[in-house]
Structure 1
Amino acid sequence: MQHTQKGSKLTEVFLEVFKLNGLLVTTGDQLIKDLGVTSARWKVLGALSYNESTMTVPDIARAMGQTRQAIQRLVNEMMDDELLETLDNPKHRRAKLIRLTHKGQETFRKVMEKQIPWVNAMAQEIKEEDLNSVAATLKLLNDYLS
């Protein structure tokens, strides 16, 4: 059995995405190391910051494409560091709602102070139509796989 031409190209895309993910984690960790957070924690802070309501651990896991167990571990650590807090969930007795504390909001603000100039500089090197195409394709693939 062989890949079709498009299947082969999509496999190439996946390999580049895997590599990009690794580079983003490494670069992100370096970018924010002085703030005492990692890229993994940054993703949790971002998921909660960009969502208009509180989220449960499974909600965060789905938004990030991660396992519930991995997110639960991060949430527990981040609660110990007072970045997150829980609230009672009126829809579910055991699945607590998670939200940023003031310290978590401030940490995310500081992270974004570093991310914005970094990403803006990188974006200058890429045509807007290419960014639109990549974003649309990645969304299509994410929708297909979720």
Structure 2
Amino acid sequence: MRKMKRTPAGETLTSFILDFFRLNSRLLIAGDRLVAELGLTSARWQILGAITAAQQPQPVAWIARDLSANRQNVQRIVNDLEEDGLVRFEVNPHHRRAQLVVLTDKGSQAFDAAMRLQAAWVNRLSDGLSVEDIEAAHSVMTKLRKNLEDSMEPDNLE
């Protein structure tokens, strides 16, 4: 069997991906520490953010889709948030079994508190980085995500 060689771009991207995995792990740890005193984790905070960003209440499956996350994992976290009074379920007029997830006042307060903590933290984290460099990194990540999503289309799977 012949071993396929990476192109120079493929080699550089492999290194980038490995560093990105390490960065992601550190971001999750830092996020957990940042919001721990609020009774949140990075995952809970992320879901509260998705609920806040939505234009209207959504079922868990839609929240999971928007986050590119596993529906069952999101369901488990949403159930925990509901137990803690941060979200509630409402009847979905379009689908009997897929209840809508709604942020409670307590959930909104927790999310707002997390975002206040995040503002000071992200300002410190961005020290030494130019807006242009951050925008360039964002552009690369956006293009990589699109390429990955396109490659996962049924017609492109091989």
Which category of TM-score, normalised to the shorter sequence, fits these structures? over 0.9
Structure 2 counterpart of 1:118, which letter? W
Other structure's SS at 2:40 match: coil
The normalised TM-score by structure 2 is: 0.86
TM-aligned CA deviation for residue 107 of structure 1: 0.3
Counterpart residue type for residue 134 of structure 1: A
Q: Does 1:66 align with 2:73?
A: no
Paired residue total = 146
Post-superposition Cα deviations, 1:60-81, rounded to whole Å, max 9, x if no partner, equal: 1122221001001001111011
Partner of 1:36: 39
Aligned to 1:4: 7
SS in 2 for 1:98: strand
Tell me the residue number matched to 1:129: 132
2:49 to 46, 51, 66: 46
State how 1:34-113 maps to structure 2 within 5 Å.
Answer: 34-113=37-116
The higher-RCO structure (CA 8 Å, 6+ apart) is 1
Aligned counterparts of 1:87 and 1:143: Cα–Cα separation in 2: 34
Larger radius of gyration: 2
Residues 1:21 and 2:20 aligned together: no
Unaligned runs of 5+ in 2: 150-158
1:27 deviation in Å? 0.6
Name the Cα RMSD after superposition: 1.3
2:119 to 113, 116, 135: 116
Identity of aligned residues (%): 38
Of 19-28 and 136-145, deviating more is 136-145
Q: How many Å separate the matches in 1 of 2:137 and 2:98?
A: 35
How many angstroms apart in 1 are the aligned matches of 2:18 and 2:70? 21
What letter is aligned with 1:69?
Answer: Q
Q: Residues 144 and 58 of structure 1: is their aligned pair in 2 closer, same or farther, counting only changes over 3 Å?
A: farther
Cα deviation for residue 141 of structure 1 reads: 2.0
